[in-house]
Amino acid sequence: MKKIFSFLALAFIIPWNASAQAATDLRSLLQVFINLLGVLMTVLYAAAFVAFFWGIVQYILNTDNPTERQKGTQWMIWSVVALFVMVSLWGIVGILIRTFGLTPQVIPQLGT
């Protein structure tokens, strides 16, 4: 587990460090931050989505055990809360992009 965490940490830090060296003004520094945030948010979206479906599976499989069903319900509730917070964060990122005139590379777009 420690090796996996180290690998993931390096996978996010090395590109960020390389691009941070080129950041000489506030605009490029914000661009680096938003791009890093985009990668991190994609991973967090996937984790929250999997957690939601894990809660559904726990809820369905434990029809006879109310305590386990309650745990499944908690998984679903907290994953929906996490997804809501992350979507709200994209709204804040959108405000930053429009305010500073940045061109993000990772922010998901709906339509054109």
Of 31-45, 52-66, 72-86, minimum mean pLDDT range: 31-45
Report, in angstroms and rounded to the nearest whole number, the Rg of the chain calculated over CA atoms: 18
In a domain, 105, yes or no: no
In a domain, 112, yes or no: no
pLDDT (tens digit, 9 = 90+) per residue, 1-51? 566 656 656 666 665 555 545 556 787 887 888 788 778 878 888 999 999
Instruction: Please determine, for residue 71, whether its predicted confidence score (pLDDT) is greater than 60.
Output: yes
Give one word for 11, left, alpha or beta, with left for phi > 0 and alpha for psi -120 to 50: alpha
Structural domain count, the chain: 1
In a domain, 107, yes or no: no
What is the rounded distance in angstroms from the CA atom of residue 51 to the CA atom of residue 82? 10
- Position 112 scores a pLDDT of 46
User: Domain of 23?
Assistant: 2-100
In a domain, 109, yes or no: no
In a domain, 106, yes or no: no
In a domain, 31, yes or no: yes
- Position 1 scores a pLDDT of 58
In a domain, 110, yes or no: no
